[in-house]
């Protein structure tokens, strides 16, 4: 790199002087005839040294100038980079910063003013003034961040601060320490970002994920988090936690009558009303559909039960729906932590089942989880789950109980009775699973399966020369099916079973709707099927109904026989039923015969048929076959 003209001229002058001096000395000495003495030689040598030194310095001066030139260029590049970096942060809600502990100064870039809304000069004079703008709730985060940096460790923390307009903003601060040669922190430097918009978006996304879109109430996810926190607090403070499961009564009627828009409007108003009532005493969440869950932590039971009554009363005020009927009630189930359960799912489940009991017992009320009832509820739910698959898994069996001719002692008919053996539950009695099957709407399917199996088996006996009838029970839901008689006809046709060998047993409650029952009975009897009234004397039938309907068999309920020796009235009732059967030209079958005395009484009273443990329990087809073979031997 060439030197400047100023330095070039000065260097050339020095060199010229040295050259002139070096070559002029011999000439001058010769001109004046002066001999070349040691002194002149030394002078000549000194001039030569001066010439060499001048040339060396000239060269060094050229190198220094080159270094200075490079320094200026690099400094300009660094300044450009620094300006670009400052511009990058200062224009993006961010700023660079440095703290000098020796000078006790805080040096932020220009972007600081955009983020904080204060002049940099105010903060540069006090290197810890930035901490005064941190909100008190987040001060521990900022202090921990600052202490970590001062200890020599890099740090990144997010906390809130108040800007010049007193708005609360979010700051994401990054920093690292700078050490001197003694490994002591002398400076802190870093960058800080205003992340308020990002935080607001995150909070909005979190709110949407943890709150119900319609009512704005906490959803199931938020409920779980809250319950976990509340259960921990209860354990620490020796308090109780109540889970209230609310289900609206007849909400389906609102939806069906006025439309889903009105239903949604009602749910929103209920959510608002519940929140206002509960306030800071607990949390209200929407569990789904028309179900809400309220979580309450309490110490005094009286105070808690007052809140429960208040919830019931809250629903009585009409809602602003612009429809004719704008009132609704709720049924509430309550479980307690830790008394009823110590798990979240367990508490919700028990409160849910208690709510169903509240509905079954009149609605618009509340019920507590009850251990005994809870056990029965769990058993019922378990049975229901297995019951739905029992037909497909071929878990049902048909057993048969002989109906005996009391005079001859011979079997003239068998009653088909369903039995259920489940691998997990064991033997489940009909009294337990039949009501559940009716509630699930699968009793008709099960009943038809029984008739199909029983007619197939009885046909096998008949084809083997064992001539006898078959009697089958049908449920109310089966009998009330408009296609019932057609379905029976199809089964009999498929199995080639003689309809005249079949008796259908119905309960007295079926006869309440005389007109409907009469049509079905007529259809069945036209096919040749006989009709029997099961458990007679325990239901609602009257003599006028019996007289108007063609009943072939009356079956005396076993409860009358069990008390024959204890109650003379029962003796008279049994005799009356037997005489009624004779008058109506109907067979009379006594159920539940367990002793010879009972059998003797019935024969003396004119009852020709009976069944009971005295003769045989309900048994498998193979056992019935053995009884029939023994009878014919």
pLDDT tens track for 157-182: 999 999 989 999 999 999 999 999 99
Task: Check if the beta carbon of residue 438 is closer than 8 Å to that of residue 475.
Answer: yes
> Higher model confidence: residue 630 or residue 81?
630
d(CA 460, CA 467): 10
Tell me the DSSP string of 189-241: EEEEEE-HHHHHHHHHHHHHHHB-TTT--B-HHHHHHHHHHHHHHHHHHT-EE
Instruction: Extract the tokens encoding 353.
Output: 């089942």
d(CA 419, CA 434): 10
User: For 420, phi and psi rounded to 5 degrees?
Assistant: -130, 120
Instruction: Extract the tokens encoding 327.
Output: 């009132």
d(CA 398, CA 452): 10
pLDDT at 41: 66
d(CA 387, CA 275): 41
pLDDT at 18: 59
Count Cβ atoms within 10 A of the Cβ of residue 500 and give its class: 0-12 exposed, 13-18 middle, 19 or more buried: exposed
Average model confidence (pLDDT) for the chain? 86
Q: Is the pLDDT of residue 77 over 60?
A: no
> Over the stretch 362-380, which tens digit does the pLDDT of each residue have?
899 999 987 776 677 778 8
Task: Check if the beta carbon of residue 461 is closer than 8 Å to that of residue 455.
Answer: no
Task: Check if the beta carbon of residue 114 is closer than 8 Å to that of residue 93.
Answer: yes
CA-to-CA separations, 575 to 128, 512, 549, 597, 606, in angstroms, rounded: 106, 25, 22, 15, 8
Q: Is the pLDDT of residue 110 over 50?
A: yes
Rg of the chain over all Cα atoms, to the nearest angstrom:
51
Give which of 244, 250, 290 is closest to 270, Cα–Cα: 290
Can you tell me the mean pLDDT for 269-283? Answer: 93
Task: Check if the beta carbon of residue 478 is closer than 8 Å to that of residue 484.
Answer: yes
> Over the stretch 345-359, which tens digit does the pLDDT of each residue have?
999 999 999 999 899
pLDDT at 324: 78
Can you tell me the mean pLDDT for 47-59? Answer: 65
d(CA 484, CA 266): 42
Fold of 388-632: TIM Barrel (3.20.20)
The alpha carbon of residue 373 and the mean position of all alpha carbons in its chain are separated, in whole angstroms, by: 24
- The class level of CATH for 213-369 reads alpha beta
Block residue for tokens 């409160």: 351
**Adjacent-strand bridge partners of 404:** 411, 610
d(CA 131, CA 145): 11
> Over the stretch 224-236, which tens digit does the pLDDT of each residue have?
999 999 998 887 8
Q: Is the pLDDT of residue 575 over 80?
A: yes
> Over the stretch 299-356, which tens digit does the pLDDT of each residue have?
888 888 899 999 999 998 999 988 877 889 999 999 999 888 999 999 999 999 999 9
> Higher model confidence: residue 400 or residue 475?
400
- The residue extents of the domains of the chain are 5-83, 91-200, 213-369, 388-632
> Over the stretch 492-520, which tens digit does the pLDDT of each residue have?
999 999 999 999 999 887 877 777 788 89
Instruction: Extract the tokens encoding 196.
Output: 């308020």
- Residue 422 sits at the vertex; the CA angle it makes with 419 and 424, to the nearest 5 degrees, is 150
Give which of 345, 346, 314 is closest to 332, Cα–Cα: 314
User: For 159, phi and psi rounded to 5 degrees?
Assistant: -150, 170
User: For 263, phi and psi rounded to 5 degrees?
Assistant: -60, -40
Give which of 474, 364, 349 is closest to 417, Cα–Cα: 474
How many other CB atoms are there within 10 angstroms of residue 501's CB atom? 20
Determine if the pTM surpasses 0.75.
Answer: no
Contacts of residue 134, defined as CB under 8 A and 6 or more positions apart, other chains included, come to 142, 159, 160, 161
Instruction: Extract the tokens encoding 258.
Output: 């006025």
Is CATH 3.30.450.20 the classification given to domain 91-200? yes
The alpha carbon of residue 596 and the mean position of all alpha carbons in its chain are separated, in whole angstroms, by: 61
Block residue for tokens 């976990």: 228
């Amino acid at each position: 790199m060439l030197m400047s003209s100023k330095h070039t001229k000065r260097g050339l002058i020095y060199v010229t002087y040295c050259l002139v001096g070096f070559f002029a000395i011999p000439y001058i000495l010769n001109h004046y005839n002066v001999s070349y003495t040691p002194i002149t030689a030394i002078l000549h040598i000194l001039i030569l040294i001066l010439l060499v030194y001048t040339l060396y310095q000239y060269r060094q001066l050229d190198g220094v100038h080159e270094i200075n030139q490079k320094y200026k260029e690099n400094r300009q590049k660094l300044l450009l980079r620094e300006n670009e970096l400052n511009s990058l942060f200062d224009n993006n809600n961010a700023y660079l910063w440095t703290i000098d502990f020796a000078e006790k100064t805080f040096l932020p870039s220009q972007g600081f003013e955009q983020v904080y809304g204060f002049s940099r000069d105010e903060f540069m004079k006090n290197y810890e003034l930035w901490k005064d703008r941190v909100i008190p709730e987040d001060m521990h985060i900022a202090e921990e961040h600052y202490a970590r940096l001062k200890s020599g460790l890099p740090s990144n923390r997010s906390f809130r601060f108040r800007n010049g307009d007193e708005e609360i903003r979010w700051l994401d601060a990054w920093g690292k320490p700078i050490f001197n040669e003694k490994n002591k922190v002398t400076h802190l430097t870093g960058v800080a970002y205003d992340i308020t918009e990002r935080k607001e978006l995150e909070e909005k996304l979190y709110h949407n994920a943890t709150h119900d879109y319609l009512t704005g109430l906490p959803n199931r996810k938020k409920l779980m988090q809250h319950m976990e926190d509340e259960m921990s607090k209860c354990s620490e403070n020796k308090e109780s936690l109540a889970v209230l499961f609310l289900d609206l009564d007849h909400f389906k009627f609102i939806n069906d009558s006025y439309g889903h828009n009105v239903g949604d409007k009602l749910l929103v108003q209920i959510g608002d009303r519940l929140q206002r009532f509960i306030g800071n005493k607990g949390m209200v969440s929407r569990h789904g559909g028309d179900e809400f869950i309220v979580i309450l932590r309490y110490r005094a039971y009286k105070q808690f039960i007052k809140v429960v009554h208040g919830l019931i009363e809250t629903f009585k005020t009409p809602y602003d729906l612009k429809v004719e009927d704008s009132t609704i009630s709720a049924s509430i189930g309550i479980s307690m932590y830790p008394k009823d359960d110590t798990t979240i799912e367990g508490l919700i489940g028990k409160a849910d089942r208690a709510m169903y009991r509240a509905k079954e017992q009149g609605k618009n009320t509340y019920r507590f989880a009850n251990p005994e009832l809870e056990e029965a509820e769990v058993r019922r739910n378990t049975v229901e789950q297995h019951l739905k698959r029992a037909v497909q898994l071929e878990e049902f069996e048909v057993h048969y109980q002989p109906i005996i001719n009391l005079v001859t002692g011979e079997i003239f008919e068998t009653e088909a009775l369903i039995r259920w053996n489940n691998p997990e539950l064991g033997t489940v009695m009909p009294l337990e699973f039949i009501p559940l099957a009716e509630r699930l709407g699968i009793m008709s399917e099960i009943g038809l399966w029984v008739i199909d199996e029983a007619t197939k088996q009885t046909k096998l006996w008949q084809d083997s020369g064992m001539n006898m009838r078959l009697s089958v029970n049908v449920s109310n839901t089966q009998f009330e099916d408009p296609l019932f008689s057609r379905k029976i006809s199809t089964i009999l046709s498929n199995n080639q079973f003689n309809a005249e060998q079949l008796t259908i047993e119905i309960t007295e409650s079926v006869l309440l709707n005389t007109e409907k029952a009469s049509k079905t009975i007529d259809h069945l009897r036209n096919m040749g099927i006989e009709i029997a009234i099961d458990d007679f004397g325990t239901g609602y039938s009257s003599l006028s109904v019996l007289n108007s309907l063609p009943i072939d068999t009356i079956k005396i309920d076993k409860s009358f026989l069990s008390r024959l020796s204890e109650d003379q009235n029962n003796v008279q009732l049994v005799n009356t039923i037997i005489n009624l059967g004779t008058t109506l030209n109907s067979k009379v079958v006594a159920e539940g015969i367990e002793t010879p005395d009972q059998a003797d009484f019935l024969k003396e009273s004119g009852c020709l048929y009976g069944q009971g443990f005295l003769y045989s329990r309900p048994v498998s087809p193979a056992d019935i076959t053995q009884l029939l073979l023994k009878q014919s031997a």
